[in-house]
Amino acid sequence: MGIPLENTKDIEKPGNKIENGNGKTEDIEAVAKKSHKTSNLEAATHLFKGSVGAGLFAMGDCFKNGGLAGATLLLPVLAVICVHCEQMLIDGSILAVEKTPGATFYDYPETVEKCFEKGPAPLRRLSKLMRLIVEMFLCVTQFGFCSIYFVFITENLHQVLEIHGLNISPTLTMLIALLPAMIPSLMTNLKYISPVSAFANVALIFGLVATLTIAFTSGPMPSLSERHLFTSGTQMSLFFGTALFSYEGIALILPLRNSMKEPEKFSSRFGVLNITMVIITIIFMFTGFTSYVKWGEEVQGSITLNLNVEEIFSQAIKIVAALGVFFGYPIQFFVMIKILWPPLKQNLSYAQSHPIQTQVALRFILILMTFGVALLVPKLHLFISLIGAFCSTALAFVIPVFIDFVVKAQIPKSLTLWIYFKNMAILLVAVLGIVTGTYESIVEIVKAFYA
């Protein structure tokens, strides 16, 4: 299943030909689908936005939990593991397509299902269950992302409104952000989300650069000796969750690759995936290091919250950063809809006869649900750690390793000692992160509720 083309009009006569401008003719339907495909730059824009959102501004808290040296050393390691696991997912998807006559592309849940279907006989019966598990994790993760986005927007906007004498509650502030969020989230195709995503990237980069500029110019930077180089196991668990949350773009990997005009350029050595992730990692490290050095243990779940809200420029930064995260909401929302909509349409007769009305209603309900969960979130940084430690780790590390084992089992002599060692090492990191990160996040959240 590729990117849905809901806005493409039905072709009256399949097989009709048109001239493509090079003296050749192409099928009308093929041209229509091709026109909706994304370019390399558009794919990189979506990948950047999918990985750089609220997590970018949480890098200060990430380095606080990991320590200057610990976080600086571990963040690139996690980035390499994430990219490697994403490559394993892509390889599994390509193999599944090759072994399925008539198939073109598979997304994450379909890839898992098809890989297990074609895998060793004892594992084939698990194909449907594995797909269901992935879909559940994806929905929970994307739902959590969207809810966290509301919290991020509200916290920054509320500070600005308060300083101007508008003493409204955080709940009402969040309600103000709800109505505009519905508009871009009703877009049904990645091609149409591109301008929104591009604006979000510009806003986020401006917000980041301006925040770091203030950090460097608002007084001397504290000495590195005043900050922790390494931290305890408890804090490292929270570091792991926040880092994985920030890198969690694996849900978008296959949809983005599948939507490209030249999908083979997505995962090549100097392709969209590797180049974009190198840039993201450098930005994360610089942001986290600088933020923790500047604000130390006082650094917030979003570094924009550390800015002096009484200054006009700081207020502008908070608003622009909030807009950047706000316009990133549709790209995260898209993944959740893409999972929930097909089975709903297949099993609900009204959805089959009124697909547009039903999908709009589904989107409307889900937006309200993410809004409702956001109202219950007491601490932004703790929920970022929880979502990252549990769901993001399973999707980014555990499932791709399972896929790799199943895929390699289909190819003679592919399950080498190196493959076993490498995959088991990744699983060990994942299990430690899930158990310790989830436990510590829940403990901290409970403390926040009863503080």
Between 219 and 287, the more confident residue is 287
Which domain CATH number covers 446? 1.20.1740
* Number of domains within the chain: 1
Report, as an integer, the average pLDDT of 121-130: 92
Is 217 a domain residue? yes
CB 383 within 8 A of CB 377: yes
Domain coverage including residue 275? 50-450
Is 91 a domain residue? yes
Question: 132 pLDDT band (50/70/90 cuts)?
Answer: very high
Is the pLDDT score of 293 beyond 90? yes
Is the pLDDT score of 3 beyond 80? no
Is 11 a domain residue? no
pLDDT of 83 reads 93
* Contacts of range 263-266, beta carbons closer than 8 Å, 24 or more positions apart: 263/105, 265/40, 266/43, 266/90
Is 36 a domain residue? no
Q: What is the DSSP string of 347-384?
A: H-HHHHHSHHHHHHHHHHHHHHHHHHHHHH-S-HHHHH
Is the pLDDT score of 6 beyond 50? no
**For the segment 23-76, what is each residue's pLDDT rounded down to a tens digit?**
444 443 444 445 467 888 888 887 887 677 667 888 999 999 999 999 999 999
CB 5 within 8 A of CB 105: no
pLDDT of 66 reads 92
Query: Whole-prediction pTM value?
Result: 0.78
Is 39 a domain residue? no
Question: 264 pLDDT band (50/70/90 cuts)?
Answer: confident
Is the pLDDT score of 8 beyond 70? no
**For the segment 215-255, what is each residue's pLDDT rounded down to a tens digit?**
999 888 999 999 999 998 778 888 887 887 777 677 778 88
Is the pLDDT score of 268 beyond 50? yes
Angle at Cα 207 formed by Cα 393 and Cα 374, nearest 5°?
A: 50
Is 2 a domain residue? no
Give Cα separations from 52 to 276, 281, 307, 411 (angstroms).
11, 10, 20, 36
Average per-residue pLDDT in the chain? 82
Report, as an integer, the average pLDDT of 395-407: 93
CB 212 within 8 A of CB 314: no
Question: 420 pLDDT band (50/70/90 cuts)?
Answer: very high
